[in-house]
């Protein structure tokens, strides 16, 4: 990326860099997939925050590796949203189950690869970030544990959670189109993407 990392970009500039429609970018900003901030009524983005979308895989140019110029997933594996899991969780666990689980997956992403894949569990923070009462979040979290989607661990008075992998989904990633984050019709290099493998492999 040619711009200095301290550069503040307009949405139009981001659109030109990523080759993504501004409406899509606005949705990413609202969902938290793309970090940004409001300056008056206009979105602004730090140039440095575009790096995860632009970084090519070793051995090929960005254009060869990712024709769209956009990472297959950022903060959250896109294929999970098309796996049938949102509907399954909301129907079988709680109408808020997917919202809670999705945030847990995002927190796991943010943590990188912590020891034993234990991520700090702050139910009050999750409650604030998804806009649900804390007792509702706690209730849903317990049900997610009961259904073996997540586990809870306590150490020295601190609580942690782990995503149980491979995540059980109604639709396999093999049956989900590449454009939706899956591997159906994907080029061979896409299968090397750690974002795809992260929740498919036992930790």
DSSP string, 150-187: EEEEEETTEEEEEE-SSPP-SS-GGGSBGGGTS-BT--
Residue 77: what are its φ and ψ, rounded to 5°? -75, 110
pLDDT at 85: 97
Q: Do domains 8-65 and 72-203 have the same CATH topology?
A: no
Cis peptide before 136, with omega less than 30 degrees from 0?
Answer: no
Tokens in use for 151?
A: 């586990």
Provide the total of helices (H) and of strands (E) in the chain, helices listed first.
Answer: 9, 6
State the residue for tokens 């974002």.
195
The average confidence (pLDDT) of the chain is 81
Strand ranges in the chain using DSSP code E only, listed in sequence order? 8-10, 37-39, 42-46, 119-120, 150-155, 158-163
Tokens in use for 35?
A: 């970090």
pLDDT at 196: 66
Return the domain boundaries, the chain: 8-65, 72-203
For residues 139 and 109, give the distance between their C-alpha atoms in angstroms, rounded to a whole number: 23
Which architecture, in CATH terms, is 8-65?
A: Orthogonal Bundle (1.10)
pLDDT higher for 24 or 126? 126
Tell me the range of 1-5, 21-25, 162-166 where mean pLDDT is highest.
Answer: 162-166
pLDDT at 156: 87
CATH topology for 72-203? Arc Repressor Mutant, subunit A (1.10.10)
Name the nearest CA neighbour of 46 among 54, 32, 38, 36: 36
pLDDT digits (tens, 9 = 90+) for 48-90: 888 777 654 444 444 444 444 344 555 678 889 999 999 999 9
């Amino acid at each position: 990326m040619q711009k200095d990392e301290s550069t503040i970009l307009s949405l139009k500039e981001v659109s030109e860099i990523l080759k993504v429609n501004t409406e899509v970018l606005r949705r990413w900003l609202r969902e938290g997939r793309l970090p940004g901030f409001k300056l008056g009524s206009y979105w602004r983005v730090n140039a440095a925050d575009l790096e995860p979308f632009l970084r090519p895989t070793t051995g090929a140019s960005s254009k060869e590796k990712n024709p769209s110029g956009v990472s297959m997933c950022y903060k959250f594996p896109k294929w999970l949203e098309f796996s049938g899991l949102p509907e399954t969780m909301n129907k079988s666990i709680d109408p808020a189950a997917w919202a809670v689980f999705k945030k847990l997956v995002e927190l796991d992403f943010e943590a990188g690869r912590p020891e034993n894949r234990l991520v700090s569990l702050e139910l009050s923070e999750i409650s604030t970030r998804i806009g649900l009462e804390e007792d509702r979040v706690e209730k849903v979290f317990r049900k997610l544990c009961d259904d073996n989607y997540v586990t809870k661990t306590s150490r020295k008075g601190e609580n942690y959670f782990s995503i149980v992998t491979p995540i059980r989904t109604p639709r396999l990633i093999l049956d989900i189109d590449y454009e939706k984050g899956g591997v159906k019709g994907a080029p061979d290099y896409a299968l090397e993407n750690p974002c795809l493998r992260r929740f498919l492999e036992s930790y």
